[in-house]
Structure 1
């Protein structure tokens, strides 16, 4: 099939990874993919290292720098108006690409206010598969980044209702859209995935352990973009408690982000420097040995609707995982079987979960092995996601 992939993101951090991986999966299955976007992903040109590093959000182009500046400096109302205005550009770009490429369907990563894909799909009679990774109207309202929340919610409802099919990454996200009066049959859950060839548990983490002098330590780790909702402040508070201070553990924080400086300051003031290492951003292609160096992989907190990509990376590497017990996480991990789940936002529960793994190497090995097995049992694979999309398009084409 011929697939036109449309997105309005800046192709950074987990967004860029998702875009690149699903495009790669479609191509690996033998389909042709063309990309229409404001900023091209790594699959559209250039190396992945140039585009992103450890979800660090490091801009990979002058366009990224420009749009980052626009987002940061523009008044909120003006920025929202620009998001709506993008549809003029997006529709024109899509129309040109459709006339040149004549795709079998459009695959679009949802962005708030972006209805160009729905209009182009209707105008040219082409199916549109819409991928939704978070409830953007709700998310931006909560974080005070919307001037017109009612309008944003109305746009979100209309766009997700009028795609040929809307794919979401978790059941809580599906429930959210249905609560907005999006028809329930319109929405299908397709969690994120992994490339098991890239995340190979046979890769050694010893060079990383030696680099940071971690021999003989139980290494805890978090990989990603350091944001307030990732629970890293709580993790450091737990590390400062007596039990973990006395244990032979070391925390490896891999990446960077908005709260990087405040985390470093906390480590300094609490005299935790001997137990915590900040690696800074790591190119994604160099990330696997860092995960391999971990004994226990941590997801201290997560939004209730996410399908955290790091969980699948940890699972594919066969790591013992500690994560919060909430619906979207329980869709991915089985408590005491492929991970250890704890009561969200509970420091004592997080400490107990970590200490259970620290004190029992055999348990760590068992749940890590099972996590790896569940990647294949539950088909958390980018290629399987791509196959599912193709099947949906075929079904919709027959129904037409």
Structure 2
């Protein structure tokens, strides 16, 4: 691991996030924490802040708000709330937020401001970099209006969608360098006019020391009655684009064909969880489908330990083609067999017949067929799981992937 501090002892980095652990335990928060944690291990002088007003302007609900929260080796500082901009991302908010961020950058002697999606966080940060006379990096983890378009198919034809698209591109144009979470998203950004040589792909990765194979948790096996069952699992948010209704139908079909398979669904997602439970009830409330609800962050690995096969049946939507989930990498690191739909962002991770199996997105019979193949062939499951873990160790370990960030930082400081 390189010693950043020995080479760049005068250079500091201010990282700006839309949300963070421990208040928002999402994939975004996990990725942010891994990046910040590894940059600190590399010796980077790093200050991590959340966007002005978070969490009061967020959906996280009533909670105690502190000036900072520390998780492991990372301290998340909360920036104060502005009197303008409550629920509205306008010019006045952008100017006030960028002035505050520029002031913070000056106080912590930052040479780089590194901000992550979405543009409500990134645009004020890139404006702040210009005001402070420092370098700005915008990290595209996704286009959040693409996600909204899955829930509301008419949204791409509206002015709010086009406005957010324009502002996302403007944020990247203002930045001195850009990170994209996938090759597919990089291609989208190039098509929108961002220079290809400005963009570095910074994929999801995993802490391979934290996510390692574990024996099944006996207490949870008994609690959910999973002994002598092959467990198909989903862990995450029940969003509209995950394709979970198809996954439930596939598992029910395989039960009717006589396979001893259960579906363990861990997490929540407000209205989508209610919808899934209603669909389950409409299909006869079969006991092979289990909803656990949200579980404590520290218990997630216990639930992973129960799972044999982890499908990711994402639908053929633009957000799914561009933005990969973090969970396949965690699953592969823990030695689970992965089955994924053939959207571009997932096939960058799951190589059909090598690190997992791939089926046609939106094709329920193909999903059933591939799941049946894995249920009938434990030897294939084990081989794919072993190869998947080996690939993650070689290609998607945060210890190695974080080096890409340092190279971009160095390029900006030396340029």
The question of whether the paired residues in 2 share the 8 Å contact of 1:205 and 1:291 is answered with no
Displacement of 1:3 after TM fit?
1.8
Please tell me the root mean square deviation across aligned C-alpha atoms, in Å.
2.5
Query: Aligned in 2, Cα 1:61/1:29: closer, same or farther, shift over 3 Å?
Result: farther
Quote the residue 1:148 is aligned against: 160
1:162-204 CA distance string (max 9 Å, x none) = 2111111111111111121111211121111111111121354
Displacement of 1:355 after TM fit?
0.7
The count of residues paired between Structure 1 and Structure 2 equals 371
Matched, 1:187 2:204: no
Find 2:126's aligned residue among 107, 118, 132. 118
Matched, 1:97 2:114: no
Q: Does 333-342 or 389-398 show the bigger shift?
A: 389-398
- What SS class does the counterpart of residue 82 from structure 1 fall into? coil
1:101-127 CA distance string (max 9 Å, x none) = 111311111223442211221222322
Displacement of 1:213 after TM fit?
1.2
- What SS class does the counterpart of residue 353 from structure 2 fall into? coil
Find 1:301's aligned residue among 310, 314, 339. 314
Matched, 1:261 2:274: yes
In 2, Cα distance between the equivalents of 1:98 and 1:230?
38
Quote the residue 2:385 is aligned against: 368
In 1, Cα distance between the equivalents of 2:367 and 2:38?
36
Task: Point out where structure 1 has 5 or more consecutive residues left out of the alignment.
Answer: 43-56, 65-77
1:29-87 CA distance string (max 9 Å, x none) = 22232122237999xxxxxxxxxxxxxx86583569xxxxxxxxxxxxx9774355432
Quote the residue 1:384 is aligned against: 400
Quote the residue 2:73 is aligned against: none
Matched, 1:271 2:284: yes
Give the TM-score of the pair, scaled to structure 2. 0.82
Matched, 1:61 2:63: yes
Query: Aligned in 2, Cα 1:137/1:85: closer, same or farther, shift over 3 Å?
Result: farther
In 1, Cα distance between the equivalents of 2:215 and 2:39?
26
Query: Aligned in 2, Cα 1:360/1:39: closer, same or farther, shift over 3 Å?
Result: farther
The question of whether the paired residues in 1 share the 8 Å contact of 2:16 and 2:51 is answered with no
Matched, 1:322 2:339: yes
The question of whether the paired residues in 2 share the 8 Å contact of 1:239 and 1:245 is answered with no
In 1, Cα distance between the equivalents of 2:267 and 2:90?
29
The question of whether the paired residues in 1 share the 8 Å contact of 2:105 and 2:113 is answered with no
In 2, Cα distance between the equivalents of 1:232 and 1:162?
38
In 1, Cα distance between the equivalents of 2:145 and 2:359?
29
- What SS class does the counterpart of residue 89 from structure 2 fall into? helix
1:208-223 alignment, distance < 5 Å? 208-223=220-235
In 2, Cα distance between the equivalents of 1:220 and 1:173?
29
Q: Which has the higher contact order (CA 8 A, sep 6+)?
A: 1
1:157-306 alignment, distance < 5 Å? 157-241=169-253, 245-257=257-269, 258-301=271-314, 303-306=320-323
- What SS class does the counterpart of residue 225 from structure 1 fall into? coil
Matched, 1:133 2:141: yes
The question of whether the paired residues in 1 share the 8 Å contact of 2:13 and 2:47 is answered with yes
In 1, Cα distance between the equivalents of 2:54 and 2:213?
27
- What SS class does the counterpart of residue 114 from structure 2 fall into? strand
In 1, Cα distance between the equivalents of 2:353 and 2:374?
10
Q: Does 202-211 or 140-149 show the bigger shift?
A: 140-149
1:111-150 CA distance string (max 9 Å, x none) = 2344221122122232222110112344445633964333
Matched, 1:398 2:410: no
The question of whether the paired residues in 2 share the 8 Å contact of 1:201 and 1:316 is answered with yes
- What SS class does the counterpart of residue 281 from structure 2 fall into? helix
Quote the residue 1:50 is aligned against: none
Task: Point out where structure 2 has 5 or more consecutive residues left out of the alignment.
Answer: 1-10, 67-84
Query: Aligned in 2, Cα 1:140/1:221: closer, same or farther, shift over 3 Å?
Result: closer
Displacement of 1:396 after TM fit?
2.4
Q: Does 119-128 or 240-249 show the bigger shift?
A: 240-249
Query: Aligned in 2, Cα 1:60/1:167: closer, same or farther, shift over 3 Å?
Result: farther
In 2, Cα distance between the equivalents of 1:141 and 1:227?
12
- What SS class does the counterpart of residue 304 from structure 1 fall into? helix
Quote the residue 1:74 is aligned against: none
Q: Does 260-269 or 291-300 show the bigger shift?
A: 260-269
